[in-house]
Structures are given as C-alpha cells and as structure tokens.
C-alpha cells in the first residue's frame, strides 16, 4: 500500500498586494498569486517549506525553513540564494537592509542575521533568549534605524549597524507591532494600541506605560491581530477578533485629546481578522480572516470590493476516486480532485461563486450530499424551506437537472442511491424513497414506530433497505420504488453509529469499540470483532476499520468460515474517519486525521508503505501562562472567549486558509 498525504488544508499564511493590485499569498509553504478581478489563482512554487515573506516596493522576499532566500517580481523569480541557516522563522526588508530570524530551540533563543544581497552573505548580529517552554507569538519588523522584535510582553529595539539594544516591557502580552520611521505601534491582547513617537530617544530599558511621548487608542474588545500604517502616513489600520477593520486618524499631541481622534469602521466581515496589508499604490487593502476568506477593500471609500471564499473548518461529505467533497460551517461546498494530488483542482458547486460581491449573502446550508461519476444530489436548507437538487457535472461545469421543494419538512441528514432508487433520511424518524431516472420524484415516505433513524444502507440492486435505530436493525423490501416492512433484529447494546453492506447478504454495523456482521437473509449475527471500530469503509470484498488507538488501519477480509485481519497503514496522528473512493469495488481508500490532514491509500505493485509531504516539525512546547482577564466592550461580543493561539506564528498572521478557485492544469 502507498500512502499519499493530500495537501487540502492550509495553515500558516501571509498575504500581500502587489503593484498591479494582484494578491500574493504564502500558504502552507507555497506561493500563490491571486487575481480577484479575473477570479483565478496560479501556484508558483511547490517547495512546501516557505515560512515567511516580506514585500518591499515591487519585490517579494521569501525565506524557506532551510535558509533559502527567494526574490520574486510579479510572477517571475529574479534571484535566489542559500544562506546555510536552518530553522529560519521570519524575514524583514527595509530598503537594502534584510534581516532573517532564526529559531534555535536547543538554546531557547532566536538569532538575528543580516543578509547582504550583493555578496549573498549572512552575519549574526544579536541573540534573544526566552524562557524554556512554548512561545506563543514572535513578531519582527523594522524601519530605517531599528529592528523591532516582540516576544511575549517584551519589545526589543535593535539599532542597525551597532550592538546597541534596549527593551520595552508591557504589562500585557504584545500581539501586533509596526515600525515606521520614528514611530512604533504596539497592539496587545486587551485591545489597546500604543503609539510611541521618537523611539530614538529611548536609551534604556523601561516600561511602555511609563513613556511620556506615547498615545493610546482603544476600541477592540480583545486581541489586536494585525496593525499597519497606511502609505500616506496619515492613518493606521487595526483588526482583531471582532471581524471589523478600523481606520484610525491620529489625534493631537496631547494623549488626553480624544475628540480629535477619528475612527472609520469597515462593515463586519463575520470572521476574526488575522492579516491585513495595503498595496504599494495605497488603493487597496487585503484582509485575511480565520474562516478562510480574502477581502479586497477600497482604501479610499473604505468599503469591501470583492471577497474570495475559502474552506476552513470544513468536514468531508463524500469522496470517490475522482472527487473529494467537503463543506464548511456556512454550507459552502467544494470539490478536490485527488487525481491532481498537490495541484489543487476545485469545482464550484450548487451555484456558489468563488469571487462574489459581499452584498449577496448566501443563507443556504447544505445538510447532505451524494454523488457518483456524473450526478450529484444535495439537500439545501434555507429559512423558508428544504429542497433537494439533482445536478449533472463534468469538466465543462455543473448543470441543475431538477429541484424538489416542500417534500422534506426537516433537512435530510443522509442520501443513498442504488440505480435509480434514492433514499433520504431526515433528522427525525422518517425516510423518503425517490425515483431519479429523469428527475426528482418522491414515491413514498416511511417510518418505523416513529423511532429516530441513525443510519441506513441500500443494497446495490436497490431491492433491500436496512435502517439502524437505537439498538434495532429494521429490514425493508423495496419493490417498484416502495418499501415494505420485513423484520427487525435487536442489538445487544445501543451506541451503534453506522451501517453498510459488505456484500449482497451481509451488513456491517460499527460502534466505537466493535464491528458486527449480520446476515440479512437469516437476520442473525455472524461475527463480532472487538479489536476495532470507531470508523469503517467497505472495499472490494473487504472492510477497512481502525484499531482502538485510532492510529492503525486494519483490513478485514472474509473467508468461507473465517474473518482475516491485516495491518494496512499506520500514522502518527489519530485517524478521525475512513472514506471509500468508489462504488464498493475499489481497493483504495482515504482517511482523515484529527489535525485535518488527509491521506490517500492505494494498492500498487510495490506494497511498501510510505508517506509523502510529512507534517512540519513541531513548535516548542507550550509554556503554562496565567490567564489574564479580558474586558469586552461590546454587548454582542460578550459571549466570545479570548483564547490564545496554539500555533507559533509571525507578524500575527497565523490562520488556516484554503482558497477556492479553479487552478488550471
């Protein structure tokens, strides 16, 4: 068996807007260029180890984990060099000054290096140690005279060309910084922004709150995620967990002069803001949110022009060998093509546009979905009704065949199809039988003593249906699209979650600790396997399941009188769920880990097991920190919790971003 890791979910990201108003995105170690106006993405590199980037004028500087510095202009690489550094973490550029930040976990320290573009040499200039444990956020920025480094509650100023440095200590955790000329902007986890002017006058270590030449601004109710000064140097922009971008106009010289401080607010984006950047021309601002959306903002009118949807916090609905479907919590559906592997190929289903104006808000939630090679059925719930839609799809696009409304009183939670017979199960106690030969025609609605249905399985010929209730299996005969009750079987215990046919006469029921095999003709228990469970999928004459550790995949093959078990695949992360890739006749399958990593397992001539695109190295362990009290200033935000990030990030740009769009092969 060969195990291939599919790069579907993205984690760390940075975004920039180039001179021609195109967006450059560093996502999951790769470089993408996004064209919001043309509604397309282009993948430039497949290195998979880019850790950070910095934009200076028309050049984009990238640094990889292994110390390679790449310089891009538009979509072409202008220069590249190897620095010989390992565990590189961040890069900062100001004019000809290039700083690289290296992480030294064995020494509990970060090292600063200067990089000369002409000689391609690096020089170590400073080292900053931290307490043993987990580092929450590391921030790096620079202006014409200083390099600014923030770690925890300390901001370190390093004067360029000298060994001089000083520390500014805060009573709160620093979450965002921006250095511009002689001014330093600092945002903390309580939502306070401090602007310090004349930083060259600071000659010794001091508390930020004791500096006289400073101003404070406070609107955010929680952590300030992103902070930068506009191109015209007259304003600065901040964003946080409220999902609102704030444009600040600085007040008078007196810190108490609040009346002269003006604020403009971007309409709420709905998700937590994690990154924002302005184009060199100053016309546009690019905003990245925690729910994987990119918003392009008109800097003059301070309104959203375009949004690019993403697929964060999604769950998988269906997959076969050609498509891999997942849905986010907003009901948006995306399809990933495993055939393209790392080159993400996506289809846009159910009428959703990848790039859309924000005025069109979709109120649809897709509750269930089924598809084969050419057809797709979705159940869509709106505030007014529940409807089933039948689609036909291919390389040319997606076409709506039929739509049925007001048949389901509650949303469908599962859809199964065999031939032209379709069964939908609602969230209460009923199931519906449909004929989908030419469209959607509801034939019958049935239930068993109004008992809630957990799952159902339809035989391949469509003539037998088994429904799983709490502790009961119910067998139904299906003739001419109508179902009639045959018999039921009581299970020894409750808590079973899923059922499926393994062959024409056997169904498999799974719980968290065992697999049960039943003969549908005699309605008797054939075999119980206690060593596996939690999740399973059916292949060609065999069943794939998990052991109790959820890290080992087992193949269970039935003989004449025995059930043989074989180890198929083992990974370090716990496996969440297994998926079949086809109509029960393939030997390949997918499995998804708790960290949302996706693996594809297929049979090859060489049966050795291998893993492609392994996860990145683990960050330093988390250090236990005292929880600080957070004061929410908005009534609508009182229920939100200010939970610190669990990821080592730079420049407050930690997020999972999965960009929708069709990438040409």
**Distance set, CA 297 to CA 34, 95, 285, 303, 344 (Å):** 15, 27, 5, 6, 26
The H-or-E segment that residue 24 falls in is strand 23-27
Q: Which CATH class is domain 10-232?
A: mainly beta
- Given a contact cutoff of 8 angstroms between Cβ atoms, the answer to whether 509 and 471 are in contact is no
CA distance 354 to 334: 10
Task: Tell me the average pLDDT across 78-94.
Answer: 81
Listed residue (83, 82, 102, 80) closest to 91, CA to CA: 102
Q: Are 614 and 595 in contact (CB under 8 A)?
A: no
Asked whether the beta carbons of 499 and 457 are under 8 A apart, the reply is: yes
Nearest to 393 by CA among 382, 377, 407: 377
Mean pLDDT of all residues in 438-447: 88
pLDDT given for residue 453 in this prediction: 92
For 106, list phi and psi in degrees, rounded to 5.
Answer: -70, -25
Longest pairwise C-alpha distance within the chain: 89
608 vs 245: which has the higher pLDDT: 245
Among 114-128, 263-277, 358-372, the range scoring the smallest mean pLDDT is 358-372
Instruction: For 122-173, write each residue's pLDDT tens digit.
Output: 888 888 777 654 455 677 777 777 888 888 888 888 877 776 778 888 878 8
Residue 217 has a CB neighbour count (10 Å cut-off) of 22
Per this entry, what is the length of the chain?
665
Percent of the chain exceeding pLDDT 70 equals 66
Token pair in block for residue 265: 């607010």
Q: Is the pLDDT of residue 310 over 80?
A: no
Q: Above 50 in pLDDT, residue 655? A: no
Torsion of CA 649, 650, 653, 655, to 10 degrees: -20
Nearest-angstrom CA–CA distance, 107 and 88: 15
Residue 469: its H or E element: strand 464-469
Facing residues of 563 across strands?
A: 558
Mean predicted confidence (pLDDT) in 63-72: 83
Residue with tokens 């032209």: 420
- 274 versus 253: which is more confidently predicted? 274
- Report pTM: 0.51
| pLDDT reported for residue 631 | 26
Distances (CA, A) of 298 to 57, 283, 286, 306, 403: 20, 6, 9, 9, 39
Strand partners, 506: 503, 519
CA nearest neighbour of 139 among 648, 621, 656? 648
Q: How many CB atoms lie within 10 A of CB 157?
A: 20
Q: How confident is the model at residue 90 (pLDDT cuts 50, 70, 90)?
A: confident
Q: Are strands 375-381 and 455-458 parallel, antiparallel or unpaired?
A: unpaired
Q: Among 34-48, 98-112, 116-130, 531-545, whose mean pLDDT is lowest? A: 34-48
Q: Can you tell me the mean pLDDT for 341-368?
A: 44
Q: What is the pLDDT of residue 637?
A: 30
Instruction: Give residue-wise pLDDT tens across range 257-274.
Output: 445 568 888 877 767 888
> How do the domains of the chain map onto residue ranges?
10-232
The pLDDT-based confidence of 285 (bands split at 50, 70, 90) is confident
Cα–Cα distance for residue pair 136/461, rounded to 1 Å? 56
Q: 167-224, pLDDT tens digit by residue?
A: 888 878 888 888 877 788 888 888 889 888 877 777 778 888 778 778 888 888 888 8
- Name the strands in the sheet holding 59-64, side by side, starting at the edge strand that comes first in the sequence: 50-56, 59-64, 68-73, 76-82
pLDDT at 433: 93
**How would residue 352 be classed by pLDDT, with cut points 50, 70 and 90?**
very low
Please provide residue 37's backbone torsions phi and psi, each rounded to the nearest 5 degrees. Answer: -70, -35
pLDDT at 584 over 80: no
Residues 636-639: contacts with CB within 8 Å, 24+ apart? 637/221, 637/222, 637/242
Is it the case that residue 344 has pLDDT exceeding 50?
no
Give the whole-angstrom CA distance, residue 146 versus residue 121.
Answer: 20
- 3-class DSSP string for 372-386: CCCEEEEEEECCCCE
Output the six-digit token pair for 70: 């790449």
Predicted confidence at residue 197, as pLDDT, reads 83
pLDDT the model gives residue 665: 24
Greater confidence (45 vs 214) lies with 214
Contacts of residues 16-20 at CB distance under 8 Å and 24 or more positions apart, as own/partner, are 16/53, 16/55, 16/60, 16/277, 16/286, 17/277, 17/278, 17/279, 17/280, 17/284, 17/285, 17/286, 18/55, 18/58, 18/60, 18/74, 18/279, 18/280, 19/58, 19/279, 19/280, 19/281, 20/74
* pLDDT for res 430: 92
Which tops the pLDDT comparison, 441 or 630? 441
Q: Over range 503-515, report the average pLDDT.
A: 86
What pLDDT was estimated at residue 580?
A: 63
Considering Cα of 72, then 74, then 75, then 78, what sign does the dihedral take? negative
More confident residue, 602 or 648: 602
Categorize the per-residue pLDDT at 329 as very low, low, confident or very high, splitting at 50, 70 and 90. Answer: low
State residue 464's pLDDT score: 93
Q: Which of 350-354, 539-543, 557-561, 655-659 has the lowest mean pLDDT?
A: 655-659
So what's the pLDDT on residue 99? 85
How far, in Å, CA of 204 to CA of 566, rounded? 67
Under 8 Å CB-to-CB from 579, ≥6 apart: which residues?
A: 316, 318, 319, 537, 589, 590, 591, 592
With contact defined as beta carbons under 8 Å apart, do 491 and 457 qualify? no
Both tokens of residue 406? 């007001």
Q: Looking at the predicted structure, is the pLDDT value of residue 647 above 80?
A: no
Q: Are strands 649-650 and 137-142 parallel, antiparallel or unpaired?
A: parallel
pLDDT band at 347 (very low <50, low <70, confident <90, very high): very low
């Amino acid at each position: 068996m060969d195990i291939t890791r599919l790069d579907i979910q993205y984690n760390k990201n940075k975004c920039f807007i180039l001179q021609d108003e195109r967006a450059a995105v560093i996502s999951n170690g790769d470089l993408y260029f996004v064209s919001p106006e043309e509604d397309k993405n282009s993948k430039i590199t497949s290195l998979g180890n880019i850790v950070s980037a910095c934009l200076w004028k028309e050049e984009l500087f990238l640094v990889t984990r292994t110390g390679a510095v790449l310089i891009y202009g538009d979509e072409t690489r202008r220069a590249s060099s190897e620095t010989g550094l390992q565990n590189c973490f961040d890069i900062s550029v100001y004019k000809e000054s290039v700083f690289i930040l290296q992480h030294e976990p064995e020494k509990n320290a970060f090292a600063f290096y200067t990089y000369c573009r002409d000689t391609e040499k690096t020089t170590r200039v400073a080292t900053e140690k931290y307490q043993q444990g987990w580092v929450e956020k590391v921030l790096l920025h620079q202006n014409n005279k200083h390099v600014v480094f923030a770690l925890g509650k300390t901001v370190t100023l390093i004067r360029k060309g000298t060994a001089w440095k000083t520390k500014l200590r805060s009573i709160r955790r620093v979450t965002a910084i921006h250095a511009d000329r002689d001014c330093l902007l600092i945002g903390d986890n309580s939502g306070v922004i401090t602007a310090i002017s004349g930083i060259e006058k600071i000659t010794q270590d001091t508390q930020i709150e004791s500096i006289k030449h400073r101003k404070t601004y406070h609107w955010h109710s929680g952590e300030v995620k992103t902070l930068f000064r506009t191109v015209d140097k007259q304003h600065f922009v901040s964003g946080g967990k409220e999902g609102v971008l704030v444009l600040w106009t600085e007040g008078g010289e007196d810190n108490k002069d609040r009346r002269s401080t003006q604020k403009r607010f971007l309409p709420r984006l709905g998700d937590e803001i994690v990154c924002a950047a302005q184009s060199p021309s100053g016309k546009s601002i690019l905003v990245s949110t925690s729910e994987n959306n990119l918003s392009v903002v008109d800097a003059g009118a301070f309104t959203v022009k375009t949004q690019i949807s993403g697929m964060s916090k999604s769950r998988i609905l269906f997959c076969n060998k050609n498509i891999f479907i997942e849905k986010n919590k907003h009901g948006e559906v995306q399809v990933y093509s495993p055939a393209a592997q790392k080159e993400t190929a996506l289809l846009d289903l159910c009428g959703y546009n990848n790039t859309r104006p924000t005025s069109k808000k979709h109120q649809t939630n897709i509750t269930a979905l089924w598809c084969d090679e050419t057809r797709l059925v979705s159940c869509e719930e709106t505030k007014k009704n529940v409807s089933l839609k039948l689609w036909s799809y291919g390389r040319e696009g997606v076409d709506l065949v039929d739509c049925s409304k007001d048949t389901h009183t509650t949303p469908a939670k599962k859809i199964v199809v065999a031939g032209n017979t379709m069964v939908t199960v609602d969230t209460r106690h009923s199931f519906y039988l449909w004929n989908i030969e030419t469209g959607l025609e509801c034939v019958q609605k049935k239930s068993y003593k109004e008992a809630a249905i957990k799952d159902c399985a339809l035989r391949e010929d469509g003539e037998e249906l088994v429904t799983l209730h709490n502790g009961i299996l119910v067998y139904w005969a299906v003739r001419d699209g109508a179902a009639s009750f045959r018999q039921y079987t009581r299970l020894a215990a409750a808590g079973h979650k899923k059922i499926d046919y393994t062959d024409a006469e056997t169904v498999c029921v799974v719980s968290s600790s065992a697999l049960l095999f039943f003969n549908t003709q005699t309605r008797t228990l054939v075999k119980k396997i206690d060593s596996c469970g939690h999740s399973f999928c059916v292949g060609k004459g065999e069943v794939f399941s998990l052991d109790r550790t959820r890290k080992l995949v087992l193949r269970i093959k039935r003989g004449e009188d025995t059930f043989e078990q074989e180890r198929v695949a083992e990974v370090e992360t716990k496996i969440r769920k297994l998926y079949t890739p086809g109509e029960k006749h393939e030997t390949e399958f997918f499995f998804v880990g708790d960290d949302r990593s996706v693996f594809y397992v297929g049979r090859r001539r060489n049966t050795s097991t291998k893993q492609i695109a392994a996860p990145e190295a683990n960050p330093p362990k988390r250090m236990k920190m005292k929880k600080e009290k957070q004061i929410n200033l908005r009534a609508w935000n009182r229920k939100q919790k200010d939970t610190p990030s669990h990821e080592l990030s730079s420049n407050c740009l930690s997020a999972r971003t999965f960009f929708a769009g069709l990438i040409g092969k």
